[in-house]
Amino acid sequence: MSTDETNLLRRLRANDLNAVAELHDRFAPAVFAYVYRRVGEQRLAEDLTADVFLKALEALRRDQFAHTALVAWLYRLAHNRVVDHFRRHRPQMTLPDDHPAADDVAAESQKRALHQAVRGALSRLTDDQQQVIALRFGEGKTASETARLLSKTEEAVWALQHRSLAALRRFLEGR
């Protein structure tokens, strides 16, 4: 953990309100991007991101806040919040109010089917595999950054990435 994060963590534990604002300002955009890539809906991602920071504040009050690797801890909270959401809510398809042209309907239907197939394939991966894919390809993190965020070795991240992509390929070819 960087000196800057260690200092922020110390200030958070001392109930510094400016530190709480800094925590949110500094990490909310990255947490939102991570959540958004997992759920695909802006409002839902905003709500889940808010929940992540609410959970963080609750953990701070209970003295169960991150002890090390603050950003990794926030990503873990975000991941858990997304998993909880999908356990409670099954995705539902909504129909548009306007009536698009037939070609648009067919193209949109194919796009939606592919999107659902990819989401379905991703949901079949292990939690670790899903996180590696989300961080490496959704967030654009390097293998070393991903390793640090997940408290894993870089080699473990590469192995998880390789297995994840192979599994996704199998799942999508078998659909």
pTM of the predicted model, to two decimals? 0.61
pLDDT in tens, 7-55: 888 888 888 889 889 999 999 999 999 999 888 889 999 999 999 999 9
* pLDDT higher than threshold 80 for residue 109: no
Q: Among 99-103, 104-108, 122-126, 153-157, which range has the highest average pLDDT?
A: 153-157
pLDDT tens digits along 132-173: 888 888 778 888 888 888 888 999 999 989 998 888 888 888
What domains lie within the chain, and their CATH numbers? 3-88 (1.10.1740.10), 102-173 (1.10.10.10)
Cβ-proximal residues to 138 (8 Å cutoff; 6+ apart), any chain: 33, 34, 37, 38
